[in-house]
Amino acid sequence: MGGALLTRWGDACINEKEYSRNLPNFFSVIDRSPNADIGSKALSPPRFQAYASLQKFADELSQQKLPAPDALLLAVRPKQVLPTLNDARHLLAPSASVISLAAGLPLTRMRYALKANKNLSTPLFRVMPSIPVAIGEGIILIASDSKREQESSYVRALFAPMGRSVFCSDELLDKGTGLWGSAPGYLFQMIHAFETAACELGYKPDQARLLAFQTLKGVGLFAEKQHTEKNISPQELVASIALPGGTTEAGLSILNDKKTGLVPLMQITAQLAYQRAQNMAQEIAAEEEK
Provide the residue ranges of all domains of the chain, joining segments of one domain with +: 2-169, 183-279
pLDDT, residue 142, reads 94
CATH architecture of 183-279: Orthogonal Bundle (1.10)
The whole-angstrom separation of Cα 139 and Cα 125 is 16
**Is the peptide bond between 205 and the residue preceding it cis, with omega within 30 degrees of 0?**
no
The whole-angstrom separation of Cα 71 and Cα 68 is 9
The number of helix segments (H) and strand segments (E) in the chain equals 12, 7
> What pTM does this model have?
0.83
CA torsion sign for 41, 46, 52, 53 is: negative
pLDDT, residue 232, reads 94
State the average pLDDT for the chain. Answer: 85
Cβ neighbors of 228 (< 8 A, separation 6 or more) are none
| More confident: 273 or 55 | 55
Q: Report yes or no: 138 and 125 within 8 Å, Cβ to Cβ.
A: no
Kindly report, residue by residue over 112-141, the tens digit of the pLDDT.
887 766 666 788 999 999 989 989 999 999
Which 3 state secondary structure label does DSSP give 218?
helix
pLDDT, residue 271, reads 84
pLDDT, residue 41, reads 62
Q: H helices of the chain, where?
A: 2-15, 17-20, 54-64, 78-88, 107-116, 149-159, 170-176, 183-201, 205-230, 234-241, 247-255, 262-289
pLDDT, residue 36, reads 52
Quote the radius of gyration of the chain (alpha carbons, Å): 22
The whole-angstrom separation of Cα 255 and Cα 235 is 13
* CATH code for the part of the protein at 2-169: 3.40.50.720
Instruction: Evaluate if residue 32 carries a pLDDT over 60.
Output: no
Residue 290 binned pLDDT confidence (cut-offs 50, 70, 90): low
Cβ neighbors of 117 (< 8 A, separation 6 or more) are 86, 89
pLDDT, residue 38, reads 54
